[in-house]
Amino acid sequence: MSSSIKVLITGAAGQIAYSLIPIVARGDVFGKNQPVTLILLDIPQMSTVLDGVVMEIMDCAFPLLHEIIPTTDEATAFKDIDVAFLVGSMPRREGMERKDLLAANVKIFASQGKALAAHSSPDVKVLVVGNPANTNALICSKFAAPKIPPENFTAMTRLDQNRASAQVAAKHKVAVKDVQNVIIWGNHSSTQFPDVSNAVCNGTKLPFTKHDPDMISLVQKRGAAVIAARKLSSAMSAAKAAADHMHDWWNGTGSSYVSMGVMSDGTHYGAPKDVIFSFPCTVCPKSKQWKIVDGLALDDFAKDKLRITGQELEEERKEALSATTGQL
């Protein structure tokens, strides 16, 4: 068996982590022969809950689990890790404006970026799940620079891709496992653009005549619909998406492509520079490096949607960076 890899999960006492931890521990992300050490970080107020999570993990008796390290200390949590799932973030509360949410999360992700720079290796793979994920990932990467390159930071839009893929499968009456190349463009927010124009089923292109505004709206608002029905935000589906994202980043994507929020250099599909923008990506399994898929056709409808979500990301960047003035 391979030597253990060190996997950090923040917000470890929360709902998403509760579903994510067993997926990672049983080998569904990094491989059935890959031992893992789980480092579980949460705030001091959640330490008793975290103790209970550790008890449950132990009681599961996962064969691949080498060690569990629960902590409320960032220096301990980020020490020599190979992978980070940054799940914990400040949730949006009633009456809170988006700019207030950004300002609160800047402090969290700036601190974690500094901790990555101080304690982690330059090769660490960082997936930001906590919302607003794209801009949180951008801020984290800024504070981890220059030690850790920006391409090592990604934001999760896989949940949106999974949601859209499920809708495509239901519409065409095919198995969701056979649907590939559904794309989420832009921000993980209500401005995201779910694009099914390139979707295939078992390698065969699915019929497409025009974009479906109802399906787009359904995916954009799915998180709010879950909250309205469940009275809690998406957890099980978010954990599955985080695992899917990291699995493909670690093991490669094969012949299909997947949606990943990655750093934009301003040369792809008109997306603005220096934002974390969701693109269709492929990943080489040997290098574990993502690459944006180029050459896909965009009609005027799609171009307009990309412009809108790109503008939102630029506005978020401006607000987030203004909250870090003097810290970078």
pLDDT, one tens digit per residue, over 270-293 is 999 999 999 999 999 999 999 999
Please choose, from the candidates 35, 8, 31, the residue with its C-alpha nearest in 3D space to the C-alpha of residue 20. Answer: 8
Residue 187, annotated ligand binder?
no
Q: Is 105 annotated as a binding residue?
A: yes
User: Is 129 a known ligand-binding residue?
Assistant: yes
Whether the predicted pLDDT of 110 surpasses 70: yes
**Which one is catalytic: 119, 188, 211, 245?**
188
Determine whether the annotation assigns residue 131 to a binding site.
yes
Environment class of residue 139 by beta-carbon count within 10 Å: exposed (0-12), middle (13-18) or buried (19+)?
buried
Select from 120, 137, 155 the last residue of a domain: 155
288 in a structural domain = yes
Task: Retrieve residue 58's tokens.
Answer: 């132990």
Composition of the chain by helix, strand, coil, percent to 5: 45, 20, 40
Residue 201 lies in a domain: yes
pLDDT at res. 51: 98
Q: Residue 177: phi, psi to the nearest 5?
A: -65, -20
Residue 60 clears pLDDT 80, i.e. is over it: yes
Instruction: Tell me what pLDDT residue 8 has.
Output: 98
Quick one: pLDDT band at residue 324, thresholds 50, 70, 90?
Answer: confident
Residues 167-226 have pLDDT tens digits of 999 999 999 999 999 999 999 999 999 999 999 999 999 999 999 999 999 999 999 899
Q: What is the mean pLDDT of residues 246-268?
A: 97
The answer on whether 162 is annotated among ligand-binding residues is no
- Asked whether residue 73 falls in the same domain as residue 130, the answer is yes
Same domain, 164 and 149: no
Which of 129, 155, 181 finishes a domain?
Answer: 155
pLDDT score at 1:
60
166, 310: one domain: yes
Q: Mark whether 301 and 189 lie in a shared domain.
A: yes
Whether 236 and 256 share a structural domain: yes
**pTM of the entire structure?**
0.96
CB atoms within 10 A of CB 214: 8
Q: Which of 115-119, 167-171, 227-231 has the lowest mean pLDDT?
A: 227-231
Q: Does a structural domain hold residue 290? A: yes
| Within a domain: 326 | no
d(CA 57, CA 67): 10
Total domain count, the chain: 2
Name the burial class of residue 319, with classes exposed (0-12), middle (13-18) and buried (19+) by CB atoms within 10 angstroms of its CB: middle
328 part of a folded domain: no
pLDDT class of 95 with cuts at 50, 70, 90? low
pLDDT higher than 70, residue 94: no
What confidence score (pLDDT) does residue 140 get?
97
Q: Indicate whether 326 pLDDT > 90.
A: no
Residues 288, 214 share a domain:
yes
Task: Indicate if 245 and 213 belong to the same structural domain.
Answer: yes
Are residues 167 and 95 located together in one domain of the fold? no
Element holding 263 (H helix, E strand) = strand 258-263
- Does 270 belong to an annotated binding site? no
User: Is 163 annotated to bind ligand?
Assistant: yes
- Measured CA to CA, the distance from residue 204 to residue 201 in angstroms comes to 5
**108 touches 88 (CB < 8 A):** yes
Average pLDDT over residues 227-249: 95
Domain-embedded: residue 137: yes
Please say if 172 is a catalytic residue: no
Tokens 């809708």 sit on residue: 167
Of 123, 155, 187, which residue constitutes the final position of a domain?
A: 155
pLDDT tens per residue across span 151-172:
999 999 999 999 999 999 999 9
CATH number at residue 106: 3.40.50.720
Contact present, 154 and 127 (Cβ < 8 Å): yes
Are residue 147 and residue 161 in the same domain, yes or no?
no
Asked if residue 124 and residue 193 are part of one domain, the reply reads no
The torsion region of residue 218 among left (phi > 0), alpha (psi -120 to 50) and beta comes to alpha
Q: Based on the domain organization, do 118 and 90 belong to the same domain?
A: yes
Tell me what pLDDT residue 90 has: 83
Residue 230 structural domain = 157-317
pLDDT of residue 99: 73
Indicate if 210 and 145 belong to the same structural domain: no
Residue 146 lies in a domain: yes
Mean pLDDT of the chain: 95
- Collapsing DSSP to helix, strand or coil, 121 comes out as coil
CATH of the domain at 254: 3.90.110.10
What tens digit of pLDDT does each residue of 134-155 get?
Answer: 999 999 999 999 999 999 999 9
Angle, CA of 194, 267 and 243, to the nearest 5°: 45
Q: Is 123 annotated as a binding residue?
A: no
In-domain check, residue 189: yes
Closest-CA residue to 127 (of 141, 114, 142)? 141
Percentage of the chain modeled with pLDDT above 90: 89
Read out DSSP for 199-219? -EETTEEPP-SS--HHHHHHH
Query: What is the reported pLDDT for 328?
Result: 65
